Amino acid sequence: MKPLNLLFPAGILLCLSSCMALYGPTYFGSEFTPTRNVDVFYAAQDVRRPFEVIGHMNASTGDSDGSRDETRELVIQKARQVGADAVIFAEINRQTNHKTTDDLSVKVDVIRYKKTGDPH
């Protein structure tokens, strides 16, 4: 029975850690043909090409490095799906709950590079 006692908590932990993958980032914006590569920025002024914001994402994340890495990958994956050229991780928010740990979320601007001669 001892191995069963260890498997149950491990299963719970696995389910909890994969919850973020089930829900993924929330996206609001325009969609285009999916892209293969998505550049990552942490400030709009770091983007060296003309661009337009095509949408916004909000993604839940945890406080650990692994959770942040998973969130980053989920955001990039969603950005590819909606046809983005890049994302800008714009802001992190912390909401303190009285009964649980703090909830962290990341706001992300989703952008497409302007094509040469594009009037928009």
Tell whether 29 is covered by a domain.
yes
Tokens 């709950």, residue located = 97
pLDDT band (50, 70, 90) for residue 27:
very high
Tell whether 90 is covered by a domain.
yes
Closest to 92 measured CA to CA, from 42, 19, 46 = 42
Tell whether 5 is covered by a domain.
no
Q: What is the pLDDT of residues 30-67, one digit of tens each?
A: 999 999 999 999 999 999 999 999 999 999 887 777 88
User: Domain count of the chain?
Assistant: 1
What's the predicted TM-score (pTM) here?
Answer: 0.74
